[in-house]
Amino acid sequence: MDQEQQLNGAMRNVSINTNGLATNLNGHNSGKGSDETDNVRVQPAVRAGSGTGSAVAAASKATNAMTATAATATATATATATAINANANAFQIQTASAADKKKMVYELCQQLLLTDEQVQELTYRILHELRRGLAKDTHPKANVKCFVTYVQDLPNGNERGKFLALDLGGTNFRVLLIHLQENNDFQMESRIYAIPQHIMIGSGIQLFDHIAECLSNFMAEHNVYSERLPLGFTFSFPLRQLGLTKGLLATWTKGFDCAGVVDEDVVQLLKDAIARRGDVQIDICAILNDTTGTLMSCAWKNHSCKIGLIVGTGSNACYVEKVEEAQLFDGADNRKPHVLINTEWGAFGDNGALDFVRTEFDKDIDSHSINPGKQTFEKMISGMYMGELVRLVLAKMTHDGILFNGQGSEVLFTRGLFFTKYVSEIEADEPGNFTNCRLVLEELGLSNATDGDCANVRYICECVSKRAAHLVSAGIATLINKMDEPHVTVGVDGSVYRFHPKFHNLMVEKITQLIKPGITFDLMLSEDGSGRGAALVAAVACREDVLNSK
């Protein structure tokens, strides 16, 4: 049986020895009435013996009581011994040699590194979750939603004209004016607008009124106030699309919590806000995710681009799927063979499917986040969490006396103050050089670090970022293998991919190991995908409208 047959539904009973996980990846539920991936933690089966009377029952009860008593005594003794030895161990660690401390760091960090077997297992689980998201029956319970974008046409290079783009995806948003010209040439002007904290957690009306005001000001500043322009709207939050210009917000992420928006059509909310002003004429031609914009932006120059990837504040991917695989597609015209799928893979693992590779640090991140239990995959990858993961490891090792002779700082022990940019800066140092590392540690109030401390800090950063790259690579390789095309270009954007000195190479190496023989790929850095890509989606929509009207 070949690999594709296995992935298409052959029974695979998986035993993972780290957390007692067991999953069945073919989607069958053994007639129990629920999909087994809704609860991947499986308790060991207990076979009840047949008793012969009350004596047996009493003996069993007494045995259980004795076992419980013995277990309690053992636990108490262990706890007491641990307490007695704690101070002695702490002293021994602090006075250990640099080589011994390096070994301690290495051993603790092994939980942050994925084995080849674990990465391969991840590809099976990701594929299984993708299929659950695509299928009509399992989509409601799926964590990886695989939303249909209704984008069916990629740029062909013949798009022309002036277009607006609105890019909303974080604490700032951008408005862009893009003039597409011949020979893949374009002119672009843009401006960034802040979203105050009170608006991020206020009402939806406040948010969209603020956006509409900024759109109006932008058009006035760029002398297109009186023109009627098409607009592509990049909305980088989980979106259930019902058409190219209709999308319902599934849930807020990235610190937003605006009331009255979840399950509402965000295009209509923006239209209403523009109408309330009544001073500008804007045709919203498409709403899209930033991953779709990244794909479209790269496809304008490279027609083999079929996957869009974001590794920045958050993480997500989209890809070109066959229409027959996308069971939720409800297009009026199904003659076109493909449609873009927004996976929303950040939520992979929300059902426990990632527990076999999660660490105490991942669980700490999750429990202190604004959305515990959600976006599990993203919290192991993205720039919003990578720095904090490193900080948690550093703090633990400092408390244990392994780093900085046990002497930390207020900044080191404060959540959110080890920025992800520090990880990139530390790893940018040449081997044997700790210039950037020392600058970062000084910002953290740690000015007395030894070379050994610096080397250990860098190793911790490398482990966290390597794991992130390998997790992303497992996802991308799964998409490439599922598409099964001879060559695929992956358009990539996001601050982690763009600025981390090793992320690209780590991804290339791991994806090469995971894809099927005979398939080739390349990673293409997107040039302003979420902005120019939005304009291109609008341009393609306008191009298709013109063709359909002829």
Catalytic residues: 254, 290
Nearest to residue 233, comparing CAs of 299, 322, 131, 163?
163
SS3 125: helix
Sheet strands (E) in 404-505 = 487-493
Query: What residues contact residue 148 under an 8 Å CB cut-off, 6+ apart?
Result: 241, 326, 328, 329, 330, 339, 341, 342
CA distance 81 to 78: 5
CA distance 381 to 383: 7
* Alpha helices per DSSP H over 302-381: 360-367, 376-379
Residue in the structure block whose two tokens are 């599990």 = 376
Around Cβ 546, how many Cβ atoms within 10 Å?
A: 9
Strand partners, 338: 322
Cα distances from 221 to residues 177, 216, 408, in angstroms, run 11, 9, 50
CA distance 184 to 195: 33
Output 452-455 pairs: Cβ under 8 A, ≥24 positions apart.
Answer: 452/98, 452/101, 452/102, 453/403, 453/404, 455/102
Query: What residues contact residue 64 under an 8 Å CB cut-off, 6+ apart?
Result: none
CB 387 within 8 A of CB 421: yes
CB 253 within 8 A of CB 241: no
Reported as type and span, the H/E element at residue 538 is: helix 529-549
CA distance 473 to 315: 12
SS3 98: helix
